Amino acid sequence: MEKYIFDERNGLWYELQDDCYLPCLKLPEVEQQPVGLWGQRHLRYIKQNRKVFYHNLLTSGKLNGYLSDLDKQAEDMFSRLVKQMAEREGVTERLKAENQMEWVRQMNNLRSRASEIINSNLINTI
């Protein structure tokens, strides 16, 4: 028996392993992009709650690109939200110069609220 055979009906190569032929399948080559905190959080969410969606992205080779894009969107949204909330609530450089601890407290509060908004609207949804 031959080690490799080609099936013209479906266009796949098969490899002989033990006594049966198994298709020679591999994921398409894609450029790996960095995935940050938001992308990792979303990955955890889809692995636990949207398993079919996760496996479809994984087997199509689109998972890394999807997570990288989502991470960039979330990071941009986070920066924009913190800046807008700081302007609206008067958390300025003047406050930072006058009372650093109050400025840190208020900025931590803003960042926490912005993080919650992103988690509920972007990370823990599809």
Mean pLDDT (the chain) is 92
Is the pLDDT assigned to residue 26 strictly greater than 80? no
Same structural domain for residues 74 and 112? Answer: yes
**CA distance linking residue 118 with residue 74, whole number of Å:** 7
pLDDT at 68: 96
Same structural domain for residues 18 and 68? Answer: no
Same structural domain for residues 86 and 110? Answer: yes
Is the pLDDT assigned to residue 117 strictly greater than 90? yes
**CA distance linking residue 107 with residue 113, whole number of Å:** 10
pLDDT at 115: 97
Same structural domain for residues 52 and 109? Answer: yes
Same structural domain for residues 58 and 119? Answer: yes
Same structural domain for residues 66 and 46? Answer: yes
User: Confidence class of residue 77 from pLDDT cuts 50, 70 and 90?
Assistant: very high
Same structural domain for residues 45 and 24? Answer: no
How many domains, in total, are found in the chain?
2
Name the residue range of residue 1's domain.
1-30
Residue from 119, 105, 48, 47 nearest 77 by CA: 119
pLDDT at 125: 87
pLDDT at 27: 62
Same structural domain for residues 14 and 64? Answer: no
Same structural domain for residues 9 and 49? Answer: no
Mean pLDDT (whole number) for 50-56:
96
Same structural domain for residues 20 and 75? Answer: no
Model confidence pTM above 0.85:
no
Q: How many residues does the chain have?
A: 126
Same structural domain for residues 12 and 42? Answer: no
Query: Which is more confident, 103 or 10?
Result: 103
Same structural domain for residues 15 and 67? Answer: no
**CA distance linking residue 107 with residue 104, whole number of Å:** 5
Q: b/e per residue, 10-25, with b = 16+ CB within 10 A?
A: eeeebeeeeeebeeee
